[in-house]
Amino acid sequence: MLDAYNPSGTTNYVSFNTSKKDRWETDARRCHVNWVILDSDWEAEFCRVAEAHPKVIAYVKNHNLGLGVPYRYGSETRKYIPDFIVKVDDGNGEDDLLNLIVEIKGYRLENAKEKKSTMDVYWVPGV
């Protein structure tokens, strides 16, 4: 959630422990966080591709960073936590990079439709 008085932030104080053994050591030229905690082999492949792609300026796994999007699933309020945030050079110059929210999906559960709809209809236009 953006703070109107502090529109940019830092992950300087993000610190957490994990018991997960699957991790990707990031390239510091592409990611300011030193490890990506992997939920799947597909996420490791995404990291490899993101670091090698010439248009990707920066990326980060949205693990404990606080980016969550509220959505409704039936009568229940839930929070969607996207997998990655990626800055891409889309040809509009360094001062106008494209910010992508990337979700890595294998098997799609029924709530995936609600998450996508919330992002398309509310979150993207709002941002």
Residue 64, in any domain of the structure: yes
pLDDT band at 33 (very low <50, low <70, confident <90, very high): confident
Neighbours of 38 (CB within 10 A): 20
pLDDT band at 97 (very low <50, low <70, confident <90, very high): very high
What pairs with residue 9 in β-bridges? none
Percent of the chain with pLDDT over 70: 87
Which one, of 54, 55, 110, 112, lies nearest residue 83 by Cα?
Answer: 112
Residue 13, in any domain of the structure: no
Residue 92, in any domain of the structure: yes
Q: How far is CA 39 from CA 22, 75, 97, 123, 127, in A?
A: 8, 28, 27, 24, 27
Residue 34, in any domain of the structure: yes
Residue 4, in any domain of the structure: no
Domain range for 36 is: 23-126
Residue 58, in any domain of the structure: yes
Number of domains in the chain: 1
